[in-house]
Amino acid sequence: HPTKVFAGIRKGSHGASTLALPGGHLEMYESWEQCAIRETLEETGLQLRQDSVRFGHVTNDIMEKEGKHYVTIFMMGECQCEVTRPQNLEPHKCAGWDSFSWEDFCTFATNSKDGGSSDDDSKDMPKLFGPLLKLVEEAPPNILNFLSER
């Protein structure tokens, strides 16, 4: 669905067992747009339309428990084919991909804060990876506009 994004549960790295977007590190001399296109293809098999990829937001992510500090650059883009589903091309890093709305992420954000809720419904609800949680909390207008335009 065009107003949803793909996310998956991280495995074997910092943020394991949390829900995250496709992504990774920049290669030498790579633009942010090139990185978004490459990482999405490598992890999901989905091809993004080159002319649709653009900057979305940036978060400053201090992960004290892991001893890591990242600046996360969120990019936005559209798949070349709207009906293509993602493949899990890195099963050692991700439990699989599913589609989620912004409203889903907002619900998960409530459960992701320290401790989360103790009710039965929240036990099955994923927690968001730190940078994604921060993105949802900051609710940047250009991300919200991009999702609502679809």
User: pLDDT tens digit string along 63-118?
Assistant: 998 899 999 999 999 999 989 999 999 999 999 999 999 999 999 999 887 555 55
The model's pLDDT over 11-53, given as tens digits with 9 standing for 90+, comes to 988 899 999 999 999 999 999 999 999 999 999 999 999 999 9
Q: Is 36 exposed, middle or buried (0-12, 13-18, 19+ CB in 10 A)?
A: buried
Which DSSP helix (H) or strand (E) runs through 91?
A: none
61's enclosing H/E stretch is: strand 54-63
Q: Map tokens 């990774």 to a residue.
A: 24
Q: Please state, in angstroms and rounded to a whole number, the distance separating the CA atoms of residues 35 and 33.
A: 5
Which helix (H) or strand (E) segment holds residue 76: the answer is: strand 68-76
Measured distance CA(39)–CA(54) in Å, rounded: 14
pLDDT tens figures, 71-82? 999 999 999 998
What is the pTM (predicted TM-score) of this model?
0.91
